[in-house]
Structure 1
Amino acid sequence: MADFEFKAERRDRVGKGAARAVRREGRVPAVVYGDKKDPVSISIPFKETQIQIQKGGFLSHIISIDVDGEKMRVIPRDYQLDVVRDFPIHVDFLRVSSTTKITVGISVEFINEEACPGLKRGGALNIVRREVEVECPATSIPESIVVDLKDADIGDSIHISAVTLPKGVTPTITDRDFTIATIAAPAGFNEPAEGEEGGEGDAE
C-alpha cells in the first residue's frame, strides 16, 4: 500500500523556462520513469511535497501519484532543493511493481537500551552506522533495521550478522560482517583478570 498520494498534473512543456513557470504556480516539476515505460513529466503541489520531505524517509516510502485519474505507484529516488531557500525544486520518481527491486538506506533502531548489561554498567553506545544500505523489493521496504541490545555487554561489537532482516532484504555490503554499533567502556574501567576474585579473606 502507498503511504501517501499526490494529485499531479501532466506537463506538456519541459526545460528550464517551463520548470520556472510551474514553480511560479506553486507546484514542483517532477518526472516519473522506469518499469519499461516512457518517462512522464508532471507537477505536484509544492506545500505537500515540502511537508513529505521534511517528515523524513521520503526516499524510502511508496507514494501513489494520480495523474488525471491514472494512478501510479512510485518511490522517490531523488529530489533537488533550492541552494538558498532550501525548498524543493524537482523530484524524480521511479515506478514500482511487485517485482521491482531497489537499493535504499534504512535507518537503524536500537531497542532494550534500559536492559542492556553494558549500558547498566556505565558503558556507552557507540553507533557506527545510523543507516544501512540494503537491496529489497520496492513494495516491502522495512521501516527500520532493529538492533536488540538486551544481551550486549561492555566491549561487545554488534555486527550485521546479529540482526534479523526481513525476507528479501539483503545488505549491499556482502564482503564483510560490518559493525553497526559497539558498547564502549567508561573512562577508567578495568575488567577483573580471569580467575581474580575480590573480597576480604582472599589474601593470606
Structure 2
Amino acid sequence: MLIRRAAALSSTAFHNHLRRFATAALLQDLDAPLQFTYLEGLPRPDPKYDETIHAIPRAISGKNIAAKERKAGRVPSIVFEAEDGQHGGNKRLISVQTNQIKKLVNHMGRSFFLSRVFDLEVRPEFESKEIVEKVRVLPRKLHLHAGTDAVLNVTFIRAPSSAWLKVDVPLVFRGDDVSPGLKKGSSLNIIKRTVKYLCPADIVPPFIDVDLSELDVGEKIVAGNLNVHPALKLLRSKDEAVVKIMGARVSDQRKSK
C-alpha cells in the first residue's frame, strides 16, 4: 500500500528549506535561543485575525464570581506560564470581553482559535489607556456551554519567543475533487482533525494542508508524512493514519459491473 506525502512545496524546494534551517542552527551561538520564522509555502497566520485580546485583572475565583463576570459580559480566564502549564507556577487571573472572544471563535472556528498566538493586554479597566501587562498568549482551553455555545471560560498559556508549546494543529484537507480514489466512488475516512506538535512559539502553524489529490483507493496519509516546519516535533506516532481512502463496498462493486 502506498503512503503519499501531503506536500504544498515541491520536493526540491522543501529539502532546500531543510538544509538552510539545519545550517542556520549549526552556526547559531549555542548559548543563544534559536530564532524561527515561517517558511515559504507553508501556512502562516492570517493577518486579518491579528487582534489584541483585551483583559482586566480578576482578584478572586469561584463559581459565584464567575457567574457575576459572565452576567457583566466578561469571560473569567487564567494566564499560565508556558513552562508550568496548568500544573501551578505563576498565573494571573483575568477577565476578557465575551463579545471579542465569541467573535474570534465564530470567525475562526474553535480548533483554529486554539492554534493561534495572540497579543494580550491587561488594563485596570477596559476603557483605561494604562497597560498593566502586555504578553503573547496561546489559548489552551476553551469551555463553551453545551446548549448555547456561550463562552464560559478561557485558559491561556504565555507564549514568549523562547517558549515551546504543545499545540493541536488543525488539518485542512484539499484536493478531494480530483482524488483518483474518490473519483472511483470510494469514501474518504478522516481519522484525525488535529495533530499534536511541540512548536516554537514564533512559528505555531494555523493549520496543516493535507493534499488528497493523488490519493487512490486503499491509500492513506500518516502523521509522519505531513508537510510542516522542520522545527516542529510530532507528539504522536509518525505511523498514525490521519486520513484514508476506503475501498468500495462489495455491493457497490457488483452494481458497477
TM range (shorter): 0.7 to 0.9
Unaligned runs of 5+ in 1: 191-204
Q: Of the candidates 170, 176, 190, which is equivalent to residue 113 of structure 1?
A: 176
* More deviation, 102-111/7-16: 7-16
Higher helix proportion, which one?
2
Unaligned runs of 5+ in 2: 1-44, 84-88, 124-130
1:29 paired to 2:76: yes
Higher strand proportion, which one?
1
1:65 paired to 2:120: yes
User: What does 1:1-204 correspond to in 2, within 5 Å?
Assistant: 3-35=50-82, 38-55=90-107, 56=109, 57-68=112-123, 69=131, 70-82=133-145, 85-174=148-237, 177-188=239-250, 189=253
Deviations, residues 140-178 of structure 1 (Å, cap 9, x unaligned):
12122222223221121222233222222222113x511
Of all paired residues, the percent bearing the same amino acid is: 30
Deviation at 1:75, TM superposition (A): 0.9
CA distance in 2, matches of 1:94, 1:32: 6
Contact 1:62 1:73 in 2 (8 A): yes
Contact 1:3 1:62 in 2 (8 A): no
RMSD: 2.5
CA distance in 2, matches of 1:171, 1:94: 20
Contact 2:159 2:165 in 1 (8 A): no
Change (3 A) 1:111 1:41: same
Higher relative contact order structure (alpha carbons within 8 Å, sequence separation ≥ 6)? 2
CA distance in 2, matches of 1:27, 1:136: 30
User: Which amino acid is 1:135 matched to?
Assistant: L
Which structure has the larger Rg over C-alpha atoms? 1
**Given the two structures, how large is their TM-score scaled by the length of structure 1?**
0.79
User: Which amino acid is 1:177 matched to?
Assistant: D
